[in-house]
Structure 1
Amino acid sequence: MNKFRHYLEAIVDVEDADWNYFSSRLIKREFPKKSIFLNMGDVENYISFIEHGGVRLFIPKEDEEKDITFGFCLQNEFISAYDSFLTQEPSLYQLETLMDTTLWSISYADLQEVYKNTKIGNTMGRFASERLFLIKSKREQSLLNDTAEQRYINLFEERPEIIKQIPLKYIASYIGVTPQALSRIRRRIS
């Protein structure tokens, strides 16, 4: 939980009273590798900070090889099926751990209380939502404007930890190519 506080303090001054109120509502959740912790059709009730591990966001298909991976979040990032969290409607995708993962999570109801009762609540909520929005927006722009090779290069330059930690089949799906096409892209680049 200390990592989470240090992360927040890099964004905003956190008074002890606010931290104590906020942290008393956090739930530590631990999942082994390959755990689906939000199924498609379930309502997302948490926004979480990844203390350790990594998560992929994906749309499942009958043939697992055709699952569509459209996002990754790693250590020191927020994770949520955020559209479902905000609307409290069923999620259209799933969240799965890519390695053993530890999350510090706050429920929708508890977050509303933090917003009302602390000085940092709204700033923290705004920051988390802005980060999630920017990642989503950047990905959409890249899909519209860049070639698959450029998307891979951008991923390599902007988030090299993903290239090191995420299986290539998920990276291929993320940039919109088959694993074989990704292998050809990697050979051309190297």
Structure 2
Amino acid sequence: MYDLLIATFSRFIKLDDIEKVYLMTIFKEKQVQKNDFFLKEGTVCREVGFIIKGMVRYYINKDGEEKIYGFGKEGDFVCNYESFLSKQPSGKNIRHMEEGVLLTVSYDNLQLFYKNVRQGERFGRLISEHLFVEALGQITSLYTDSAEDRYHNFVQLYPDLQQRIPQYYISSYVGVKPQSLSRIRKRIAAH
């Protein structure tokens, strides 16, 4: 179970055997059910998760409607870093879309990782840079891309998830009604 976590960390930094064992001691296994919240609006995000099995969706409630802005799958970290770092209540939700397994680490243990692992701080910086670039891309896409372009971006970002994600979640992510998504998909298929 920890192999995927260690492989993911190793893409960013070198870990010796002692550091790998340390990583396995600070990340705790957590079983989750479909529709469980990883984070509910109004609560503080107190841990970072790493998805071993399952999927999550990130969304904001606007007038009782879910506005989905992202998905997480196996091999992804899951967190609302804004709430996690500031220790302020979240305005966003993260919810499990499938039964699954996470490995989670608390804020304090993550800080110890940064301090005690030779390249821990480097890992934190590289992940932060990655998340920053990803967030800027999403914001830019919302303001500059057509719905069809956003759907293409979804397909490129999540090529293996189209069969696992209900169409109404994909339409929310793209920013259109399900009927409009169907028309976009038909136009694309016709080309």
Shift of 1:149: 0.6
How do 1:117-128 and structure 2 match up within 5 A? 117-128=116-127
1:31-74 Cα offsets, whole Å, 9 max, x none, are 111211211011001112111111101112564xx211111111
Q: Which runs of 4+ in 1 moved over 6 A?
A: none
CA distance in 2, matches of 1:48, 1:125: 14
CA distance in 2, matches of 1:61, 1:145: 22
| 1:10 equivalent in alignment to 2:11 | yes
Paired AA for residue 130 in structure 2: R
CA distance in 1, matches of 2:171, 2:104: 29
CA distance in 1, matches of 2:62, 2:144: 26
| Structure 1 gap ranges (5+) | none
Shift of 1:162: 2.9
Identity over aligned residues, as a percent?
A: 34
Secondary structure, counterpart of 1:30 in structure 2: strand
Secondary structure, counterpart of 1:67 in structure 2: strand
1:136-165 Cα offsets, whole Å, 9 max, x none, are 211111111110011101211332123232
Paired AA for residue 124 in structure 2: G
| Coordinate RMSD, CA, aligned | 1.5
CA distance in 2, matches of 1:160, 1:13: 29
With the length of structure 2 as denominator, give the TM-score of the two structures.
0.92
Contact 1:56-1:73 at 8 Å conserved across structures = yes
Shift of 1:120: 2.8
Partner of 1:149: 148
Alignment coverage as a number of residue pairs = 188
| 1:109 equivalent in alignment to 2:133 | no
With the length of structure 1 as denominator, give the TM-score of the two structures.
0.92
Partner of 1:176: 175
CA distance in 2, matches of 1:131, 1:75: 17
Partner of 1:23: 24
